[in-house]
Amino acid sequence: MFLVLGNATIDESMAVEAWPAPGQTVVVGTPARDIGGKGANQALVLARTGAPVRFVAPIGRDAEGDWVASRHAEAGLDTSSLIRVDAPTDRSLIFVARDGENAIASTVAAARSIDPDAARAALAGLGAGDTMLLQGNLTGEATMAALEEARARGVATVLNPSPMQAGFPAMLPLVDLLVLNESEGVQLGGSGEPETIAAALAARSGGIVVLTLGGRGAIVRGPDVRAVVPARTVPVVDTTGAGDTFAGVLIGALWHRRLPVAAAVAAASVAASLTVQRKGTLAAFPSRAEVEAIFAAN
C-alpha cells in the first residue's frame, strides 16, 4: 500500500497578459478550475502506475470540499480517506503568463489543521513493504510525527520538501528517498554544483536523493547508486506539474514496479517530459495507458 499524506486544493488558473502590479487590476478571461495540490497531484500520478494508493488529505465541510471529493472520484482516486476539517477547503489562485511562467497564491488552513495525532493515524494498518509519500504542505509537527510513525512501523518514507519549511533539515535522517529540485536542495543547506548538493544531502539522510534540474534532468545519489539521468528534449508548453509527475512515477516505478533506481528515474523523466508538453496540471498528467507504455519501453 502507498500512503500519500498531503493537501488537496481547488486550483483556479487565470491567463494574464501582464502580471498585476501593486494597486493594479488586470482583466482576465474565464478562469480554469480544477483540483490540485501537490498531495493530490502526486497521489493521482502514483495511482496511474497501478500502485494501490491511500490518499489522506484534509478538505473543508463546505461546497468546495464536496466538489474536490467528487472530482477526485471522477479522476479515479479512492476518496474514502479524505478528512473533513472545520477550516475552509484550501485553494490556489494561479496566474499564468504567455511564456508559461506562473505566480501562485495558496491558502493552507485545511492542510495546517492536520495535527500530529491525525498524521500518525493516517498510517493505521501499514507496515513493512508499505511506502509513505509526504510533501511540504502539512505543519512541520505533523510531518515529523508521520515520519517517526513510519519509521516505527517499518514503512518506507519519501519526502518531497515543497514548499520548504524550516524544520525539514532535521527530518533528513528519517527519509529513505528525498525528491527535490535544486533550489530546495540549497534551502536544505546544500551548496555548489548539483552533484555536490545531492551528495551532501544523501550523506546527511543516509537514503537516496533524487535532485531534479528541470530541462537539465536529474541527479541520483545514494549508498549504492550514483547516476545522472538527462531530461528528454521536447517542445515545452507549460512546466506546471512536472515535479509532481516525476515524483509519482518515480515512487510507483521503484516500489510498485520494482525497477532499479536509475531505470525508475529514467521512467519518471519520460513521464514528466509528457507533462511539460501540455497545458495545465491535471489535464497534462500522463494517462494510465501512457504510463504503462513508458514501463513497457524501459
Catalytic residues: 244
Residue 106 in the binding site for ligand ATP (CB under 6 A): no
Q: Is 11 flagged in the annotation as binding?
A: yes
Among 6, 217, 222, 252, binds ligand ATP (CB under 6 A): 217
Strands (E) across the chain are located at 2-5, 9-15, 32-36, 53-56, 58-60, 83-85, 91-96, 102-106, 131-134, 156-159, 177-181, 208-212, 218-222, 225-229
Q: Is 244 flagged in the annotation as binding?
A: yes
Contact characters 234-273, ligand ATP, x per CB under 6 A: x-x--xxxxxx-x----------------------x--xx
Residue 279 in the binding site for ligand ATP (CB under 6 A): no
Rounded least distance, CB 23 to ligand ATP, Å: 29
Grid cell 505533523 in the structure block, residue: 142
User: How many residues are present in the chain?
Assistant: 298
> Is 3 exposed, middle or buried, given 0-12, 13-18 or 19+ CB atoms closer than 10 A?
buried
CA distance 180 to 111: 20
Judging by DSSP bridges, how do beta strands 156-159 and 177-181 pair with one another? Answer: parallel
Which residues in the 170-199 window bind ligand ATP by CB under 6 A? 181
Q: What totals of helices (H) and strands (E) does the chain contain, helices first?
A: 10, 14
Of 230 and 260, the one with the shorter C-beta distance to ligand ATP is 230
Of 172 and 218, the one with the shorter C-beta distance to ligand ATP is 218
Among 109, 213, 227, 293, binds ligand ATP (CB under 6 A): 213
Residue 95 in the binding site for ligand ATP (CB under 6 A): no
Q: Classify the C-alpha dihedral 78-83-87-92 as positive or negative.
A: negative
φ, ψ at 208 (rounded to 5°)? -95, 140
Residue 28 in the binding site for ligand ATP (CB under 6 A): no
Q: Is 140 flagged in the annotation as binding?
A: no
Strands (E) across 201-257 are located at 208-212, 218-222, 225-229
Rounded least distance, CB 235 to ligand ATP, Å: 9
Q: Is 38 flagged in the annotation as binding?
A: yes
Q: Is 213 flagged in the annotation as binding?
A: yes
Strands (E) across 107-197 are located at 131-134, 156-159, 177-181
Would you put residue 50 in left (φ > 0), alpha (ψ -120 to 50) or beta? left
Residue 13 in the binding site for ligand ATP (CB under 6 A): no
Residue facing ligand ATP at closest CB distance: 243
Annotated binding site for substrate: 9-11, 37-41, 244
Residues binding ligand ATP (CB under 6 A): 181, 212-215, 217-218, 231-232, 234, 236, 239-244, 246, 269, 272-273, 276
Annotated binding site for K(+): 238, 240, 275, 278, 280
